[in-house]
Amino acid sequence: MIPGENRFLRRLRAGEQLVGAFATIADPSLVELLGEAGFDWLLIDTEHGATDVAGVIDRLRVLGGPTDALVRPTWAEQQLVKRLLDAGARTLLFPSITSGEAAAQAVAATRYPPQGVRGVSGITRAASFGYDAGYLRRAGDEICVLAQVESVAGLDHLEEIALTPGVDVVFVGPSDLAADMGHLGESQHPEVQAAVDDAFTRLRALRVRSGYFTLDAADARRRLAAGVDVVGVAADVTIVRRGLRSLGSDLGLALDGEGTR
């Protein structure tokens, strides 16, 4: 049965700083393992990860304890979003939001009419297969929308995105932003980081919650110290790779993709 309260949204509104990781490997057991580690949240990534809707359900089932599930759709497309919500996802990170209009369309995809355009079914997993008679009435209150800004166009329209009704967090994505700025693969480039700094300054001025993802530990510490609300600090792939390198170092082996001898 799907719990009635969106704990991630409640903690966010209470002013907690929430730290998590991205799950991209197509295996629910790894998500289950990471969920036991104590992250505040794990992002189930269907944009870059090989996970379909059935796979999302498998991952939602194994997450529990202190760790909440976020899901990133491949795109802010109404039919895709409907299926993820019906599967039980309640906190969605929408990629590549570039305008207030795009943000409003993403929000609308998460709400039933007349507030939005989500298709109606009362017998989905989200509604406990029909046992939760009140689901349709309160579903919108438990949806959390994170709008990911990851382009120059998105930064140009940051204020209108941030102030779109129903957007709970503006999540700055440095990797795609770096590529859009001509610095592919260089998310720590000074020009990129200056743009990110400026975005967070503008969001603070609006009193809008912010989010960020980085694989750089120093960058993560800096963003946490600066008060960014939702910070992704690793991905399942990077956690495994770091573990392999540490094991290789302990054993005198080159477990770094270059062979073991």
**Quick one: which H or E segment has residue 172?**
strand 169-172
pLDDT tens track for 132-159? 999 999 999 999 999 999 999 999 999 9
Inter-residue contact 174 to 192 (CB < 8 Å): yes
Strand partners, 210: 170
Return d(Cα 115, Cα 137) in angstroms, integer.
12
pLDDT < 70 regions, the chain: 1-3, 258-261
Cβ-in-10-Å burial (0-12, 13-18, 19+) of 31 comes to: buried
Give the pLDDT of residue 26. Answer: 87
Give the pLDDT of residue 38. Answer: 93
Name the one residue in this structure whose structure tokens are 């270059």.
258
The CA R_g of the chain, rounded to the nearest whole Å, is: 19
Return d(Cα 156, Cα 210) in angstroms, integer.
16
Give the pLDDT of residue 96. Answer: 97
Inter-residue contact 116 to 110 (CB < 8 Å): yes
Give the pLDDT of residue 261. Answer: 45
Residues in CB range of 46: below 8 A, 6 or more apart: 52, 55, 56, 71, 72, 73, 74, 84
Give the pLDDT of residue 5. Answer: 87
For each of the domains in the chain, give its residue range(s) and CATH number, in order of start. 7-236 (3.20.20.60)
The closest of 174, 173, 154 to 164, measured between CA atoms, is 154
Other C-beta atoms lying within 10 Å of the C-beta of residue 121: 13
Can you say whether the dihedral through the CA atoms of 48, 50, 54, 59 is positive or negative?
A: negative
Phi, psi of 253 (to 5 degrees): -110, 155
Active site residues: 48
pLDDT tens track for 46-73? 999 989 999 999 999 999 788 999 999 9
Tokens at residue 136, please? 């349709």
